[in-house]
Structure 1
Amino acid sequence: MALRWLVKDASAGDHLFFHYSGHGSQQQDTDGDEMDGKDETIVPCDYQRSGMLSDDELRSILVAGLPKGVRLTVILDCCHSGTALDLPYKVKVAEGGLVDVKKKLPHQTKAPSLADVVMLSGCKDSQTSADAGVGLAGNTKAAGAMTTAFREVIVKNMDASFHVLLGQMRKFLKAQHFSQVPQLSSEQFLNLDRCFMPEAEPPTVAPAAPSRPPVRKALSIGINYLCLEPGRGQLSGCINDTDTMIGIMKQVFGFADSQVCCLRDDRSQVMPTRANILASLRWLTHGAAPGDELFLHYSGHGGQQPDADGDELGGKDDTLIPCDFQHAGQILDDELYSQVVQPLPQGCRLWVVLDCCHSGTALDLPYKVQLSPDGRSVQCSKSQAKGPANSCLADVIMISGCKDNQTSADVQAGSLGTGVASGAMTTAFRQCISSSVTCHDLLLRMREFLKKSGYSQIPQMSSGK
């Protein structure tokens, strides 16, 4: 009854909080939704005659009926509690700060909710959650070890982020010689840099109101290197990729002809020379304001050369190769970052699609996404950002054709259902993109498409935030 009271008549803007400290247990799963064959339970005081409350029941009562805009925070200090609400997203923090977010497959999640539900539990499903005696961290009475750890961290740092709170609680318990490992799971994908307690979130400074309506711009660059001999560096599908990508911009996302700029080396007026590429990048970002949507596509050769400023772990800068590279040189990832990323203000969004070799980190964005082979696990690693701290203010998302140590293939006419030669990555993008697809699903589908088609390259995704 108390659980139903908690969620009754909940509406957008409400913050609900549920804490449980007591026995947790497991029982046989009867509906086949548990990979280990066991439902997690909490154990009421009358369990001997009334039974336990299963994770299925908890999810049905607490989560399933909550509307969008409601925040439910759940803290469970009990044994076997890692997945006690059957939430679809499970967060793991590995050594070195790598974050691994595992998502359940759709058929494993019952009655998805639109609410923001976050659960912090005392231990893994396979572990027990201990009591802490008098004296631990100033306790004057016996208490749960997990509740003590939560109090110890949140009182000292009320605006602790999800990431910091989980890490500090684990550190505290480990230092006190407890083996239990607190777990974090959620109903929606979490921004782990946000405050665990939403009330502690600092006021958001809204971007300055634009003095004009939002602008949309798209730049597509396709280079077949017609200056080179066939078989000695000349490509066949990159100009066609430009036609494909402009078609996607117009048909899927509603860009107008006047909003699109194109460089291609079969037209003397729009040759993709080094100077023209850099000038077009300045056109793309010039005057950008909050609300603007920008799109950059490149299909051509990608290269690498020795890193001159020591900012690359692998010792190499990734490059784009203009049509006049033999005398004008290549375009470094450092230049791309300074020309494309740094000028953009908060509230502006830039999409970048690079169909070229050695392109995995070609914009040097700080966040890199890695998917497990089955697509359930998303690992987000953060590298040191270039330039001043927080120099990437805009929402920048890049999808690239392959890892830094891989090549990105051409597709001949007739392959992969194409009528003309094209880039394999651009073809995969065309097959998988829609106006409603999520970043996760787009990356997963593109990888599946290329793998089934016999290509070894693995598209990458990175972002500025």
Structure 2
Amino acid sequence: MMATRRGRCSYCGAQLMVPLEAQTIRCTVCQAVTRVQSSYDHPLSQTLDSINNRASRLKAGLVNMVSPTMTGGYAGAGTYGYGGHNNYVQQPPPRPALMPLPRAQGRKRAVLCGVSYFGKSYKVKGSINDVNCMKYFLVERLGFPIESVLMLTENEPNPSMIPTKENIRRALRWLVQGCQPGDSLLFHFSGHGSRQKDYNNDEVDGFDETLCPVDFETEGMIIDDEINRTIVNPLPPGVTLHAIIDSCYSATVLDLPFVCKMNREGYYMWEDQTSSSFKGTRGGLAVCFSACEDDQISADTTAFAGNTSTGALTFSFLQAMQNEPVVTYGRLLNSMRQAIRRAKAGGLRLSGPIASILNKTLFNTELSQEPQLSSSEQFDIYSKQFVL
């Protein structure tokens, strides 16, 4: 029996069984070809082959190198999918055309991304719950038009709404497209975050913060510089963007110039992290609530909602807003922090699967979680009202 591992189609999200040595796989549902990385090479993979299987593949490979196939070519890695293994490398068909996003309109607009990483050892259980709850809150409580809320999860039937790197990029561009004074924009992300070395010297701590789309293993992560250029820099006067980022290492994931430093008693000061690169807006306001410091991991937990997994930041945010609909930024930040502290005292377990795989020494990972606030401009957090 051929050894396999689980995978997901990057276009329709269907679950696939991937042979261990496969480089590409054809989806049995939409027939799209997804590039995958061999389980023997990828650092996040937990699957190891036995010495005998490796020897067998080596032997077969040596035979194939000197034996032309019936088609006149030579045996290669092949393409896997419906119909089995072919002994020649197929040219992958064009990617299925993505459906156009709805026309960006309305005074209130939101992009909600919940990435679960189905079939992976680092899967997240609560991310889809997070965005479902956030969508309900925005539409039913705050009056966001349902057609102005894009939700990207691996459960979506529309390939354009699977949270791949390219789809998230498209959604972020859609979010700020044609925004006008008086518009309120929201970006919510629930999933894995990470860090990587900063190569353009615009980070105080020497690291760029990142978000991990569902296909980050093959397509890479989305770094804070790109997020800032896409949804922060274009904001014109009178437009307000809020981001709620429920992921690890996320304090400065929007690269905003000012970071609110607050102690446990609620006293705060704004820390200016302005760099040589332009990180501000064209006159609008961008504010980010993030799950934790840049050297902390965040919790995906059942501590708040019984047997239902949720992100600690998302749950504490929605709970605070429901308990106190009219609230200042400072009051909201303190409420979220206190809720997480109470949950930790009651046995909240901070889970960070990616953190256990990545280099903790390099990232100086701290096993604690304190929600953070950053902004494109400084303001009095205890007098300015939070409004979506």
Residue 362, structure 1, aligned to residue 253, structure 2: yes
Q: Once the two structures are superposed, what CA deviation does each residue of 1:67-107 show, in whole Å capped at 9, x if it has no partner?
A: xxxxxxxxxxxxxxxxxxxxxxxxxxxxxxxxxxxxxxxxx
Question: Which amino acid is 1:464 matched to?
Answer: S
Q: Which entry has the higher C-alpha Rg, 1 or 2?
A: 1
Shift of 1:417: 3.1
Shift of 1:266: 2.1
TM-score by length of 1: 0.51
Q: Is contact 2:257-2:279 (8 Å) kept? A: no
Corresponding residue number in structure 2 for 1:236: 125
Corresponding residue number in structure 2 for 1:423: 311
**Secondary structure in 2 matching 1:379:** strand
Shift of 1:435: 3.3
Shift of 1:268: 4.2
Corresponding residue number in structure 2 for 1:264: 153
* CA shift in 2, pair 1:224/1:248, >3 Å: same
* CA shift in 2, pair 1:459/1:390, >3 Å: closer
Shift of 1:214: 6.0
1: CA distance, partners of 2:317 / 2:288: 12
Corresponding residue number in structure 2 for 1:463: 375
TM-score by length of 2: 0.61
2: CA distance, partners of 1:284 / 1:440: 26
* CA shift in 2, pair 1:392/1:233, >3 Å: farther
> Paired residues, what number?
248
Question: Which amino acid is 1:220 matched to?
Answer: L
Residue 323, structure 1, aligned to residue 211, structure 2: no
1: CA distance, partners of 2:215 / 2:279: 35
1: CA distance, partners of 2:313 / 2:144: 22
* CA shift in 2, pair 1:351/1:390, >3 Å: closer
**Please, which of 162, 166, 174 is the counterpart of residue 275 of structure 1?**
166
Q: Is contact 2:256-2:280 (8 Å) kept? A: no
Shift of 1:289: 1.2
Alignment of 1:184-263 (within 5 A): 215-228=107-120, 232-263=121-152
Q: Is contact 2:106-2:148 (8 Å) kept? A: no
* CA shift in 2, pair 1:257/1:389, >3 Å: closer
**Secondary structure in 2 matching 1:431:** helix
Q: In structure 1, list runs of 5 or more residues that go unmatched.
A: 1-212
2: CA distance, partners of 1:289 / 1:385: 27
Higher relative contact order (CA 8 A, sep 6+): 2
* CA shift in 2, pair 1:329/1:438, >3 Å: same
Q: Once the two structures are superposed, what CA deviation does each residue of 1:361-418 show, in whole Å capped at 9, x if it has no partner?
A: 101101111222121x121111115634854521111000000000011112xx3135
Question: Which amino acid is 2:246 matched to?
Answer: D
2: CA distance, partners of 1:365 / 1:435: 26
Shift of 1:286: 0.5
Query: Taking every aligned residue pair, what percent have the same amino acid on both sides?
Result: 34
* CA shift in 2, pair 1:418/1:226, >3 Å: same
**Secondary structure in 2 matching 1:453:** helix
Alignment of 1:29-428 (within 5 A): 215-228=107-120, 232-269=121-158, 270-375=161-266, 377-385=267-275, 387-388=277-278, 391-412=281-302, 415-418=303-306, 420-428=308-316
